[in-house]
Amino acid sequence: MRPVITGAISLAIPLVALSDTGRHIVLMRDFPTLGDAIDHVTSDDHVMGDDWSVQIAHEAFGVLKSAFPNISHHRIRILHNPNYFAFTADGHHIFLTRTLLEICASIEMAAFVIAHEIAHHELGHVPAESEGVRGRLKLAMLSLRHRVWPFARARMEIEADQFAIDMCIRAGLSVGECLRIFQILEKRTLDKGGIESAFGSYEFYDTEMSSFERRWKIGLYLLRHANYPIRIRRILAERHARINSTNHDVFLN
């Protein structure tokens, strides 16, 4: 389930979420933050109790908290969903699907996924809160920026990857094992026929292309996909962690 904001930007902005049980509509004015609203509309999909996915997330989060006690205020919610994805929202909410944790074959990979979402909060990619008119406007401006300038959102994902790597290293985790999640996601994406999502297009790897042409063509790619392909994120993550070298020069400015 991916909640979607619709309607006018105001205290009465409706939050719409589609799930297997139907469409849920609530008014954001009834909740202090967008994160709280999302938590409410996804309540039917919450994984509760001593489920293995909750235990893995708890253990991975615990490893990170041992190195960063100040992240304890983040709230992690596991959702039943056939797709593997994670997202974050104001109010220090972090949402992971149970399916995503299924493909995280180790605590290190789960910790990296959680650290990536925490990074969006710590780096200011997510408003601290969306309460009141001012908070709603901040949320709207951030959403508009993502749509108008695709490089901004894509760059945030790279920044969050790098921040998460630094967190995992400081927490004493094997960064190589943490980043193995990219290999798994790449393979899963290819198995579903997502060649462009996995590898992107040749513009990402063509060092002979002019800067202007690359900027234009990569921008068109990001308008379609809203993010860099998994292979590029893996290359940049490994470069940041200094565990691999590559000849690919990726345009990020």
The per-residue pLDDT for 14 is: 46
Q: How many domains does the chain have?
A: 2
Same domain for 98 and 52, yes or no, is yes
Q: Which domain holds residue 138?
A: 4-178
Same domain for 37 and 126, yes or no, is yes
Per-residue pLDDT of the chain (253 residues; tens, 9 = 90+): 344 333 333 334 444 444 444 555 556 667 777 788 888 888 888 998 889 999 999 999 999 999 999 999 999 999 999 999 999 888 889 999 999 999 998 999 999 999 999 999 999 888 766 555 565 566 666 666 666 666 788 889 999 999 999 999 999 999 999 999 999 999 999 999 999 999 988 777 777 888 788 778 888 888 888 789 999 999 999 999 987 655 444 444 4
Of the three residues 144, 178, 212, the one that is the final residue of a domain is: 178
The per-residue pLDDT for 102 is: 94
Same domain for 129 and 214, yes or no, is no
Same domain for 86 and 171, yes or no, is yes
Given a contact cutoff of 8 angstroms between Cβ atoms, the answer to whether 107 and 60 are in contact is yes
The per-residue pLDDT for 227 is: 86
Query: What 3 state SS string does 4-30 have?
Result: EECCCCCCCCEEEEEECCEEEEEEHHH
The per-residue pLDDT for 138 is: 63
**Nearest in space to 121 (alpha carbons), one of 84, 85, 167, 81:** 167
Same domain for 174 and 184, yes or no, is no
Question: What does DSSP say about strands 75-79 and 93-97: parallel, antiparallel, or unpaired?
Answer: parallel
